């Protein structure tokens, strides 16, 4: 056992003797927060210490991903109570009642919390820090603990592509995913938030839908994030857009396809006559920053 895990264990033993311990992630808990809580609870259990997980509003991805590991994120949800001692993971700012006894986080800050045990480090995922603590503490680490931490790493770092992950850590994550036999295509899809292209065209054409008024002109825009757009699906989506445009009396429908795997976007501008103008970008563009200001200018220039 390392010096710091011995210190953490002694601290938490004293805390448990006085009352309940809850481990909590940030609000609208994501996969990393949820997994960090699960692993922290397993560490405390290995030390014979009771500890409750109190996740605040786990997000849809957290519920979906944990379910794949046979865990129920919804069942872990609930706010920490006043009388509880808190272990914060994956965040360091107080959001709830309770006395903060420990904080393990990977968000650098100039204002760490004032708590008996604070460990804030640079890491792709907090869950990887907690996994390392389990190893340091010499408690048994199951294959599922490792798989959970590696999944959290993928999903907290845009599938290991984020600038926040160090190269060695990304290489480690990839090697672990292979060794553990994880479904990396699924991790990539979840990490890049790729759309399930099996959905009906009527659903795909309306994702991220926004309506803009430029003077008297009405513009609708939507987008899909995928690396698997086919001509057939695209034509089905454009046909849906033409039909919906007529119903909604839009002057233009801007449909964007973002391909995060290849790092490029394509814009399809559909006009009421059914024609499509295609603009290909060699980067991932932003609708709000790169596309709509230009569309607004064009709509004003075209004004009859
Ligand atoms: Mn995180």
How far away, in angstroms, is 132 Cα from ligand 1 center? Answer: 15
At 241-257, the pLDDT tens digits run: 999 999 999 999 999 99
How far away, in angstroms, is 68 Cα from ligand 1 center? Answer: 19
271 contacts: CB under 8 Å, gap ≥ 6: 251, 252, 277
CA distances from 292 to 108, 118, 221 (A): 34, 44, 9
At 179-231, the pLDDT tens digits run: 999 999 999 989 998 898 999 999 999 998 989 888 889 999 999 999 999 99
| Mean predicted confidence (pLDDT) in 272-288 | 93
How far away, in angstroms, is 106 Cα from ligand 1 center? Answer: 7
At 144-191, the pLDDT tens digits run: 999 999 999 999 988 998 877 899 999 999 999 999 999 999 999 899
Q: Assign 202 to helix, strand or coil.
A: helix
pTM of the model: 0.78
How far away, in angstroms, is 249 Cα from ligand 1 center? Answer: 43
DSSP label at 80?
P
287 contacts: CB under 8 Å, gap ≥ 6: 208, 210, 221, 223, 254, 256
Q: Assign 223 to helix, strand or coil.
A: strand
Q: What are phi and psi of 182, to 5 degrees?
A: -75, 150
How far away, in angstroms, is 165 Cα from ligand 1 center? Answer: 11
Domains for the chain: give ranges and CATH numbers. 3-191 (3.90.1640.10), 201-301 (3.10.310.20)
How far away, in angstroms, is 87 Cα from ligand 1 center? Answer: 15
At 16-62, the pLDDT tens digits run: 999 999 999 999 899 999 999 999 999 999 999 999 999 999 999 99
How far away, in angstroms, is 153 Cα from ligand 1 center? Answer: 8
How far away, in angstroms, is 173 Cα from ligand 1 center? Answer: 15
Per the prediction, the chain carries an average pLDDT of 94
> Does residue 78 surpass a pLDDT of 90?
yes
Distance from C-alpha of 51 to C-alpha of 100, rounded to nearest angstrom: 14
pLDDT of residue 178: 97
How far away, in angstroms, is 190 Cα from ligand 1 center? Answer: 15
How far away, in angstroms, is 148 Cα from ligand 1 center? Answer: 13
Residue 221 or residue 288, greater confidence: 221
pLDDT of residue 162: 80
> Does residue 142 surpass a pLDDT of 60?
yes
Q: Assign 102 to helix, strand or coil.
A: strand
Number of other residues whose CB lies within 10 A of the CB of residue 286: 12
How far away, in angstroms, is 180 Cα from ligand 1 center? Answer: 21
pLDDT of residue 165: 87
pLDDT band at residue 303 under the 50/70/90 scheme? low
Find which of 27-31, 236-240, 261-265 is predicted with most confidence, using mean pLDDT: 236-240
Q: How far is CA 243 from the centre of its chain?
A: 34
How far away, in angstroms, is 32 Cα from ligand 1 center? Answer: 5
How far away, in angstroms, is 112 Cα from ligand 1 center? Answer: 16
71 contacts: CB under 8 Å, gap ≥ 6: 38
How far away, in angstroms, is 15 Cα from ligand 1 center? Answer: 25
């Amino acid at each position: 056992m390392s010096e710091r895990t011995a210190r953490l264990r002694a601290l938490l033993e004293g805390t448990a003797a006085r009352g309940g311990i809850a481990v909590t992630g940030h609000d609208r808990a994501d996969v990393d927060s949820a997994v960090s809580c699960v692993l922290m609870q397993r560490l405390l259990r290995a030390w014979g210490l009771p500890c409750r997980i109190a996740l605040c509003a786990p997000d849809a991805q957290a519920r979906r991903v944990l379910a794949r590991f046979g865990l129920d994120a919804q069942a872990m949800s609930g706010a920490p109570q006043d009388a509880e001692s808190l272990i914060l993971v994956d965040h360091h700012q107080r959001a709830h009642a309770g006395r903060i006894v420990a904080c393990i986080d990977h968000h650098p800050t100039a204002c760490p919390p004032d708590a008996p045990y604070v460990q804030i480090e640079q890491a792709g995922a907090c869950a990887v820090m907690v996994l390392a603590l389990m190893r340091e503490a010499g408690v048994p680490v199951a294959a599922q603990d490792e798989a959970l931490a590696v999944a959290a790493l993928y999903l907290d770092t845009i599938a290991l592509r984020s600038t926040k992950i160090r190269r060695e850590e990304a290489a480690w994550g990839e090697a672990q995913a292979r060794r553990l036999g994880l479904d990396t295509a699924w991790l990539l899809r979840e990490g890049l938030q790729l759309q399930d292209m099996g959905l009906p065209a009527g659903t795909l054409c309306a994702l991220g839908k926004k309506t803009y008024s430029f003077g008297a002109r009405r513009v609708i825009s939507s987008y899909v994030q995928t690396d698997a757009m086919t001509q057939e699906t695209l034509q089905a989506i454009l046909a849906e857009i033409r039909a919906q445009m007529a119903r909604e009396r839009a002057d233009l429908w801007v449909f964007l396809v973002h391909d995060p795997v290849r790092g490029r976007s394509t814009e399809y501008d559909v006009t009421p006559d059914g024609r499509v103008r295609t603009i290909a970008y060699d980067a991932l563009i932003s609708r709000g920053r790169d596309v709509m200001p230009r569309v607004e200018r064009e709509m004003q220039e075209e004004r009859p």
